[in-house]
Chains A and B, each alone.
Chain A
C-alpha cells in the first residue's frame, strides 16, 4: 500500500530532473532497500544478543560444563544429552497420586472448566479456550508427581525455587496492581498537591535494587530497624522479619511493592485520562454512585492499561533476583530462594554451567506461556 502510494507520488510530482527513467528506477531500488535499513540495526543486536544466545544456551544445556574447567581447557566439557534436564526435573522413585497438591489441582480443573464454558458460551475462540484448558490439565496432571517411599527429587531445591517464585509473583502482582489502581484513581486530579503526591509515590522506583534492599534490611531489622523501633514504643516484642520463615517472603513482597509501584500507577493514571469526562457526567446525571461509576466506567475504561500492567509485572517479577539475593539470601532455609537466584548459584557458585543453562531454558518455557497469554490478549484487542 505504502509502496503504491509513494510510486504515485513520485510519478506525479517530484521527479528529479535529468535522465528520468534511470534515476527513477534507482530511486525505486533504494526505496525497496530502505525499509530493511531501518530494521537492520535492531535485527543485528537482536540476533546477536538474544536469538543466537538463546540457541547457544540450549546447546550448552546438553553438556556437563564446568565453569572454571572449560575456561582453562575447552575440551573439558562433556556432551550428556538431556541428563541436565533429568537432573533438574526428575527424581528417583517418583510416583503419581491424585491426592498430591489437590488444592492446586482443583483450581486448575476449575480454570479448564471455565475455559470450556467460555468456549461454549462463545466468549472465547476455540484456540484460546482449548489451549488454556489443555495447559491447565497438563499442569494439574504434572502436579500429581511426587517422590514415593525412599524417593526424592534429584534437585529438590529447584522445585522449591519454582514454587517460591510462583508464590512471590502470586503475592506481589495482585498487591501492586490493586494499590497502584487505587492510587491512580485517587490521584487522578489536576492539582499541585496531587502532582506532589504522585512524585512521592513514584520516588522509590528510581532507587537501585541494592539501595532498596539496604533500606529494607534496616527497616525490618528487629533490634535496630524502624519497624522494631515502632514496636518498642508500644512495648511489644519486635517482629523478626527476614529470618522468619513465615515472614521472609512477605518481607520481600513488601519491599518490592514499595519499590516498583510508581510505574504501574503512572500507566494507569494515563489510562484514566483517556476516559472521556462525558461518560462520568452522563453517569452522574443518571444518579450513579461513586462505586458504580468505578465499576461501570473506570474499570472497563482501564482494560488496556490494566492488562499491560498485570502482564508487565508478571514478567518482570518472575525474574526476581536482587531482593532475594541481597535481602534474605534465599533464606531462611530455602524459603525465599527463587528460580533466577538458584540458576545463578548453580552456574556461578557450583560451576555447573550446563545445568544452569537447562534451568534457564525451563525458565524460558514458563515465561513463554506468560508472554503467549499477553500476546493473545493484546492481539485480540487490535482486531
Chain B
C-alpha cells in the first residue's frame, strides 16, 4: 500500500475495493454506450429495461447506422483532433525553445522577459476572449483552423514549466556538447529536448486536454458546420426540445469519444510513465 507496507491479503482487499470504485466510475460511460444501442422508441418512457438500463436490450445498432450515413460528427472529430494536436505540438515547440533559453542561456534582458512571462500567468483565457473575438473579426479570420488554434499557443504556463524543468537538468552533458562545439540548436534539439520528454509529456497532456475540451472559444469562432469542433458540434445537436432522440444523441457522444478513448487506452501506459519519469 504505502511503498511496500502491507501483506498480500491486504493488497487484494484494496484491489477489490478499488475495483468496485473503478466500476462505479465507469458506470456513466457504460450507461451512455448502452443507451446508444437501444432504439428511441424503446427509451421514450423508461430507460430501465434490463439491469437499470446498463445492458442494451432490445439491442439495435440503428442509431449508429443512421449517424454514419449522414452525420457530421466525424468531421467535427477531425477538426478537434487537428486543433488539439497542432496546438499541442506548437505549444511544446514554443515553450521548450523559450524555456531552454530562459533556463540555460544568459542574455541581456532575460530576467525582465521572464518576469513578463510570469505576469502573463495571471491572465485567464476568458479574460481576453472578448477582445480576441473582435480582433479575429477585424482580420476576417473567424471560422478557420488558424482562429481555432492560435489563441491556444499563448500559454505562459508552458514556458514556465519548461524553464523550471530545464533548470533542473545537470549541466555536465551540455558542457560536454559545448566542448565539442555544438551549436545551441544542436544542444537544444539533441540533448535538451530528448531529456525533457517527461516534462513535455505532462505539458502535452495538459495542453491536449485543455484544447480538446475548450468550448467557449470555438463557440464564438467556429461559425460554420465545417469548422465546428466536437464540443460545439455536439452541443449544436442536443437541442432542448428534441427530447425523443436519446439513443441517437448518445450514439453521437460515443462516436465523438471512441477514437480518443482508443488512443488513450493505447498510449496510457506511456502517459502515466511519462509523468512518473519526471521525478527520476
List residues of A whose CB falls within 8 A of some B CB: 1-3, 5-6, 9-10, 13-14, 31-32, 34-36, 38-39, 41-43, 45-46, 48-51, 53-54, 56-57, 59-60, 71, 183, 185-189, 193-211, 214-216, 218-219, 223-226, 229-230, 232-233, 258, 263, 266-267, 269-271, 273-275, 277, 280-281, 284, 290, 293-294, 297-298, 315, 318-319, 321-322, 325-326, 340, 343-344, 347-348, 353, 356-357, 360-361, 363-364, 367-368, 371-372, 374-375, 382
Contact = CB atoms under 8 A, between A and B. Distances in A.
Given A43-B113, A197-B15, 12 more contacts: A2-B106, A188-B2, A195-B272, A201-B22, A211-B230, A214-B32, A230-B52, A270-B278, A290-B1, A322-B213, A343-B130, A367-B127
Contacts of A35: 101, 105-107, 110, 184
A342 B257 CA distance: 29
Contacts of B122: 364, 367-368, 371-372
A63 to B, nearest CB: 11
Contacts of A5: 175, 178
B43 interface: yes
A201 B264 CA distance: 12
B194 interface: no
Contacts of B104: 2
Interface of B: 1-6, 11, 14-15, 18-19, 22-23, 25-29, 31-32, 35, 43, 46-48, 52-54, 80, 93-95, 97-98, 100-102, 104-107, 110, 113, 117-118, 120-135, 137, 150-151, 153-154, 156, 159, 164, 175, 178-181, 184-185, 188, 202, 205-206, 209, 212-213, 215-216, 219-220, 230-235, 238, 246, 249-250, 253, 256-257, 260-261, 263-265, 268-269, 271-272, 275-276, 278-279
B123 A1 contact: no
Contacts of B11: 189
Contacts of B6: 290
B47 A9 contact: no
A193 B18 CA distance: 10
A230 B51 CA distance: 10
Given A34-B184, A197-B18, A258-B28, A280 B127 contact: no
B125 A319 contact: yes
Given A207-B257, A284-B5, A266 B272 contact: yes
Given A2-B106, A215-B253, A54 B123 contact: yes
A267 B205 CA distance: 11
B22 to A, nearest CB: 4
A50 B154 contact: yes
Given A200-B26, A209-B213, A258-B28, A53 B101 contact: no
Given A353-B130, A360-B130, A206 B135 contact: no
Given A14-B181, A356-B130, A1 B154 contact: no
Contacts of A50: 120, 123, 128, 154, 156
26 contacts: A2-B105, A14-B181, A34-B105, A36-B107, A57-B128, A59-B131, A193-B19, A197-B19, A197-B22, A200-B23, A202-B272, A203-B25, A208-B231, A210-B253, A218-B250, A224-B43, A224-B47, A277-B3, A281-B3, A315-B124, A322-B213, A322-B216, A353-B130, A360-B128, A363-B126, A375-B121
B127 A360 contact: yes
A48 to B, nearest CB: 7
B261 A42 contact: no
A59 B131 CA distance: 9
Nearest to A361: B127
A53 B107 contact: no
B14 A45 contact: no
Contacts of B275: 266-267, 269-270
Given A226-B53, A232-B48, A263-B206, A39 B101 contact: yes
Contacts of B250: 214, 218
B124 A60 contact: no
Contact of B126 (A10, A343, A368): A343
A58 to B, nearest CB: 9
Contact of A364 (B98, B127, B134): B127
A211 B113 contact: no
A211 B253 contact: yes
Contacts of A2: 104-106
Nearest to A322: B215
Contacts of B93: 41
A164 B7 CA distance: 46
Nearest to B185: A34
A347 B47 contact: no
**10 interchain residue pairs of minimum CB distance:** A14-B181, A280-B3, A38-B101, A274-B279, A50-B154, A42-B98, A229-B48, A53-B128, A49-B154, A56-B131
